[in-house]
Amino acid sequence: MQRSTGWMGALTGISLAMLAVAPSGAEAAVTRSEYCSRLGLQLDGAIQTKAAPGASASEIAQARALQDKASRFCAERKQAQGIRSYANALKLLGVTPVDLDQ
Q: Looking at residue 55, what is its pLDDT?
A: 65
Q: Looking at residue 53, what is its pLDDT?
A: 64
Q: Looking at residue 51, what is its pLDDT?
A: 75
Burial, 35: exposed, middle or buried (Cβ in 10 Å; 0-12, 13-18, 19+)?
buried
Give the CA distances from residue 40 to residues 9, 25, 53, 88, in Å, rounded to whole numbers and listed in that order.
49, 25, 23, 12
Within this chain, do residues 36 and 83 fall inside the same structural domain, yes or no? yes
Residue 60 in domain = yes
Q: Looking at residue 29, what is its pLDDT?
A: 78
Within this chain, do residues 72 and 24 fall inside the same structural domain, yes or no? no
pLDDT in tens, 17-33: 444 444 445 455 789 99
Residues in the chain: 102
pLDDT in tens, 39-58: 999 999 999 988 766 668 88
Within this chain, do residues 38 and 82 fall inside the same structural domain, yes or no? yes
